[in-house]
Structure 1
Amino acid sequence: SKAASTQFAVFSEIYYDKGWNVYIDGKLTPYAKVNYVLRGMPIPAGEHEIVFKFEPKSHILGWKLTSISTILIYLLIATTLFFEWKKRSKKV
């Protein structure tokens, strides 16, 4: 956006606060419900980039659990292969 003074912008998107974040120039910014169903926020004077991101906590938690589980599975496989290799080395 580009404005000579601070303006209030209304976005034609349904207001849904769960998981949505708004960033102005990379900085997390609060937004409000406007006219019962839309989103709006004050935009400071100057040229700015406004980005809406869907970042639900459940998605972040799921990503962390998946990453930890993957690492644990790889460690389990590596440990199993190591002990099998060690056992075969002793037989020879």
Structure 2
Amino acid sequence: MRITTKGQVTIPKPIRDHLGIGPGSEVEFVATDDGVRLVAVNENISEEERLRRFTDLLDRMEGTLDLGGMTTDEYMEWLRGPREDLDFD
């Protein structure tokens, strides 16, 4: 991507589509340790679109956590530590 003499860049269409931005949309460039991040500032998207994006994110994350064979209960105990305050007697 090249910066014009006016300091402008063209945001690729797949990224514009993903962020739901178009002409007149406001974006912000946020400096990070790794470089820069583009953030849509005034997203006017429906609740259904927000839910779809969240569901897509969860789908991409599915299967990325390796519990090393632990059950959910074993993982939660490992994560939180033993719960001596619970009395199961």
Tell me if both proteins adopt one fold, taking TM over 0.5 as the criterion. no
Higher RCO, 1 vs 2 (CA within 8 Å, ≥6 residues apart): 1
